[in-house]
Structure 1
Amino acid sequence: MQKIKLFIYFMLLLNIQIAVSQSVEINGKVVSNVSVENIHVINKTAQVFTTTNKAGEFTITAKLNDTIMFSSIQHIQKTITISNNTILIRKLNVKLEEQINKLDEVVVGKVLTGDLLSDVENVEGDPPINFFDVGIPGYKGKPATQSERRLSEAGEFKPKMLLGLLTGGIPLNPILNGVSGRTKMLKNRVKLEADDELLHNIKVRLSESFFSVYELDESKHIDFFYFCQEDENFNNRCKGKTDIEIFEFLREKLIAYKANLKIVND
């Protein structure tokens, strides 16, 4: 009987040892006073990356002593080391603190008290008038850039415009701009500005998380991102994509970037 107990005890220890030495799927949840969606959850040891859903939930693979980092613009970065208990129960709950950027208080003009009657009397000048006040329809979308306005003004030549030759009503601007190459130049400029904006957003959101997993000399970070932007698939792989999809694109480009550096150094 004693031997049976020892055998069971030994097998239990063996199973536990096997469990903690292998990667397992861990279900976790992030709790915070602000939004918990799209928080980057990074296994720095295994170089695995995922993000949280709207409820702050995530799933990631890890093994004992792996380092898991939680990062987002709204939160203070937090790092956790996977313990035996986490491996056994396969659950991980994490509380993140809000990232608060305090600015010095600046008082401009009148101080409002919250009392509407009092505040209205204290406000100087006439309130601004917009197109809604006078019943005029107005554009509420994103303001066009200077290049987008110029492209719109230049117009775009279309074959059906040639029908205007028969009626004498052919528009000249689209034809002249098309022949001179100005329309093509403006299109390229608009695309470049859109790519620049997309690249800036990627750097703000993912730079810290990405380089915490994949090492690259800090002096080469900017050059690497421009290397990514020059890829003909940059827009298709990154525009409107999830952080996980963009993270994978950056990982692929980093492999190519480091290969190019090695060739140059050799």
Structure 2
Amino acid sequence: MKRLIFLSTLLFIVNIHLGFSQSVEIEGKIVSTSNVENIHVINKTKQYFTTTNKEGLFIIYVSINDTLQFSSIQHKMHSVIINDAVIASKNIFVNLKEQVNELDEVLVGKILTGDLASDLKNVEGDPPINFYDVGIPGYTGKIATQSERRLSEAGEFKPKMLLGALTGGISLNPILNGISGRTKMLKNRVAIESKETLIRSIKARLTVDFLASNPLKEERLADFFYFCADDPNFLSHCYRQSDFKILIFLRKKYRQYQENIKFSED
């Protein structure tokens, strides 16, 4: 009985040895126009498995007539049958073709004609939900400019804040910004931007009506409007005023502007 077990074990070891002696280790290289790292290399005959490195190199055991299968997301699946030449050279080069995934052409929504009025009529769907629909309070006023937001963050310095700063009751930012002059600088910047925004609006709305009775050369037009904006009373005469009152102010500045031109030419 012991002898039978010994012979069976010996035959098993011999068969394993013969099996390995019939397999050889080969080195392979993948060639492709796409990424060649982490490509799966499977010996389907013997169920060996490996992957390629970043250069597309791999090592695997094979025997004659074994089937190697190469696969990856980026490449088309490819199979190679091992022949005598591969066994003799212990090298194999495999050229894989890139997998191109083409999507079927689909038409989403309606075809646009380019006519805005017509295309808007063809738009389907519900309008977006706003804060009124869900009962959430929201801001509907004028959106602050960047300079206005920075001025708000800087805060307004007041002498009484000094006591609060000593007790830790308020932020030091308004005090520091007031002392350094940053708050004043931001106020000036906001004022300048407000003037520029207002003068652009006036120029866009009233230029035609104004020039009808107040002739001015084209090259002097921009200079004239900035001359108006430099007036200390510009905002009080033009901000949130009717176009009629703004035109009265512009005609007054027009006479002053013409006098300045005449004086400079003389």
Instruction: Tell me the TM-score normalized by structure 2.
Output: 0.52
Task: Map 1:120-199; keep pairs closer than 5 Å.
Answer: 120=125, 128-199=128-199
Structure 1 counterpart SS, 2:122: coil
Q: Which residue in 1 is equivalent to 2:226?
A: 226
- In angstroms, what is the RMSD of aligned CA positions? 2.4
Q: Check the 8 A contact 2:199/2:229 in 1, yes or no.
A: yes
Tell me which amino acid in the other structure corresponds to 2:234: F
CA apart distance, 1:106: 4.6
CA apart distance, 1:181: 0.8
Tell me which amino acid in the other structure corresponds to 2:192: L
CA deviation map 1:192-226 (0-9, x unaligned): 11111111121122111111101111211111000
CA deviation map 1:50-85 (0-9, x unaligned): xxxxxxxxxxxxxxxxxxxxxxxxxxxxxxxxxxxx
Q: Mark the CA change 1:209 to 1:174 in structure 2 (over 3 Å): closer, same or farther.
A: same
Q: Check the 8 A contact 2:165/2:171 in 1, yes or no.
A: no
Q: Which residue in 1 is equivalent to 2:205?
A: 205
What runs of 5+ residues in structure 2 fail to find an aligned partner? 1-113
Q: Distance in 2 between matches of 1:241 and 1:170?
A: 39
Q: Which residue in 2 is equivalent to 1:91?
A: none
Q: Distance in 2 between matches of 1:240 and 1:111?
A: 36
Q: Mark the CA change 1:242 to 1:108 in structure 2 (over 3 Å): closer, same or farther.
A: closer
CA apart distance, 1:128: 4.2
Q: Distance in 1 between matches of 2:205 and 2:255?
A: 21
Is 1:265 aligned to residue 265 of structure 2? Answer: yes
Q: Distance in 2 between matches of 1:242 and 1:135?
A: 36
How many correspondences in the alignment?
153
Runs of 4+ in 1 over 6 A off after TM superposition: 107-111
What runs of 5+ residues in structure 1 fail to find an aligned partner? 1-103, 114-118
Q: Mark the CA change 1:108 to 1:193 in structure 2 (over 3 Å): closer, same or farther.
A: farther
Report the more deviating stretch, 221-230 or 198-207.
Answer: 198-207
Is 1:112 aligned to residue 122 of structure 2? Answer: yes
Q: Looking at CA atoms only, which structure, 1 or 2, has the larger radius of gyration?
A: 2
Task: Map 1:43-62; keep pairs closer than 5 Å.
Answer: none
Q: Check the 8 A contact 2:165/2:172 in 1, yes or no.
A: no
Q: Mark the CA change 1:202 to 1:165 in structure 2 (over 3 Å): closer, same or farther.
A: closer
Tell me which amino acid in the other structure corresponds to 1:263: F
Q: Which residue in 2 is equivalent to 1:21?
A: none
Q: Check the 8 A contact 1:154/1:173 in 2, yes or no.
A: yes
Q: Distance in 2 between matches of 1:166 and 1:176?
A: 13
Tell me which amino acid in the other structure corresponds to 2:115: E
Q: Which has the higher contact order (CA 8 A, sep 6+)?
A: 1
Q: Distance in 2 between matches of 1:156 and 1:200?
A: 29
Q: Distance in 2 between matches of 1:208 and 1:151?
A: 36
Q: Check the 8 A contact 1:163/1:170 in 2, yes or no.
A: no
Structure 1 counterpart SS, 2:210: helix
Q: Check the 8 A contact 1:151/1:186 in 2, yes or no.
A: yes
Q: Distance in 2 between matches of 1:109 and 1:216?
A: 43
Aligned residues with identical type, % of pairs = 57
Q: Distance in 1 between matches of 2:133 and 2:258?
A: 58
Q: Mark the CA change 1:263 to 1:111 in structure 2 (over 3 Å): closer, same or farther.
A: closer
Q: Check the 8 A contact 2:195/2:229 in 1, yes or no.
A: yes
Q: Check the 8 A contact 2:150/2:186 in 1, yes or no.
A: yes
Instruction: Tell me the TM-score normalized by structure 1.
Output: 0.52
Q: Which residue in 1 is equivalent to 2:241?
A: 241
CA apart distance, 1:149: 0.7
Q: Distance in 1 between matches of 2:131 and 2:200?
A: 33
Tell me which amino acid in the other structure corresponds to 2:210: F
Q: Mark the CA change 1:176 to 1:166 in structure 2 (over 3 Å): closer, same or farther.
A: closer
Q: Check the 8 A contact 2:164/2:170 in 1, yes or no.
A: yes
Q: Check the 8 A contact 1:210/1:247 in 2, yes or no.
A: yes
